[in-house]
Homo-oligomer: A and B are copies of this chain.
């Protein structure tokens, strides 16, 4: 949910129009009704994702075609009501409609309505595939996992390093891929430079499908070098990330100072100063 629509449950306690009530239930996460709405919605989303998945398994999809069709329309109805309600009570309708979740919400109900317009078979296949996008609604779950925030913050803090790492691996893959295209050639599966780059990414990340493998001795030597180089180099960003995280965890431990001796760096569960024994202020 975009920040603009986040309801501050405490600052608007007396508001009682339908719109404000709805907003508190749909966008809010603190009031009992808001919590209940969120929990019900999450189960509906998870169930609808499960239906899309099972429907894609051919023998299940064929055996229960009518059941799945009915369930699809039920989910579309529920999500349509939710989408309209969100649009109605959002503080800024455009902000919601153009936000990531607004677009995902729209895309997850559109396919079934499009299927009414055309009965063409290939067209229906595309609609079926579009429904898969509903899976992105699962991301809303992230709001309810406080532990996920640590991960997301750690990722955001190191996004520059991850980008450089990405770029480095890509440039390495371009070079070694081109080299392998020259060494092995189209006869051994390295049919083009983009395909050789794909091989190099598969190798450098140690995935190693084995769908394209070097056949010549020279190619195997280059491949061995790529594996070892990649392996050695890839250890570096992990090291940098760990070192930075380690520093962050150690320095952001506690911001309290002892009022008696001024000692800082206390642990979160400390009640008394570890240097002079004076009582500490409560953490927070």
Residues of chain A touching chain B, judged by Cβ–Cβ distance below 8 Å, are: 49, 52-53, 56-58, 129, 132-133, 135-136, 138-139, 141, 145, 147-148, 150-151, 154-155, 158, 160-171, 174-175, 178-179, 181-182, 186, 191-195, 197-198, 201-203, 205-211, 213, 217, 220-221, 223-224, 227-228, 230-251, 253, 266-267, 269-279
Kindly list chain B residues whose C-beta atoms are within 8 Å of the C-beta of A247: 246, 249-250, 253
Given contacts A208-B202, A227-B201, contact A271 B276 (CB under 8 A): yes
When distances are taken between beta carbons in the complex, the residues of chain B under 8 Å from A192 are: 53, 56-58
Residues of chain B within 8 A of A194, CB atoms compared: 53, 56-57, 217, 220
Check if A53 sits within 8 Å of B193, measured CB to CB.
yes
- Contact: B171 with A139, CB < 8 Å? yes
Chain B residues lying within 8 Å of A230, measured Cβ to Cβ, are 205
**Which 3 residue pairs are nearest across A and B when measured between Cβ atoms?**
A272-B277, A207-B208, A209-B210
Contact B246 A227 (CB under 8 A): no
Nearest B-chain residue to A136, judged by Cβ: B175
- CB A92 to nearest CB in B, in angstroms, measures 28
**Shortest Cβ distance from A98 into chain B, in angstroms?**
21
User: What residues on B are CB-neighbors of A278 within 8 Å?
Assistant: 277
Q: Given the complex of chains A and B, what is the CA–CA distance between A271 and B272 in angstroms?
A: 11
Closest-by-CB residue of B relative to A279 is B277
| CA–CA, A190 and B250, complex, Å | 46
Q: How far is the CA of A56 from the CA of B240 in the complex (A)?
A: 37
Determine the chain B residues whose CB is within 8 A of the CB of A165 once the complex forms.
151, 232
Q: Which residues of B contact A158 (CB under 8 A)?
A: 236
Residues of B within 8 A of A235 (CB): 237-238, 241
Residues of B near A246 (CB, < 8 A) are 242-243, 246-247
Chain B residue with Cβ nearest A59: B192
Chain B neighbourhood of A191, CB < 8 A:
57-58
CB-CB nearest in chain B for A185: B129
- Complex Cα distance, B250 from A267, in Å, reads 12
Say yes or no: A161 contacts B147, CB within 8 Å. Answer: yes
Q: Which of B160, B170, B242 contacts A243 (CB 8 A)?
A: B242
- Given A53-B193, A249-B243, A227 contacting B205 (CB threshold 8 A): yes
For A171, give the chain B residue with the smallest CB separation: B138
Closest to A238 in B: B235
Cα–Cα, bound, A234→B228 (Å): 11
Q: Which residues of chain B have C-beta atoms less than 8 A from A147's C-beta?
A: 160-161, 163-164
What B residues does A208 contact at CB under 8 A?
202, 206-210
Given A232-B237, A239-B242, A242-B245, 6 more contacts at CB 8 Å?
Answer: A129-B182, A139-B171, A208-B210, A246-B247, A269-B275, A272-B275
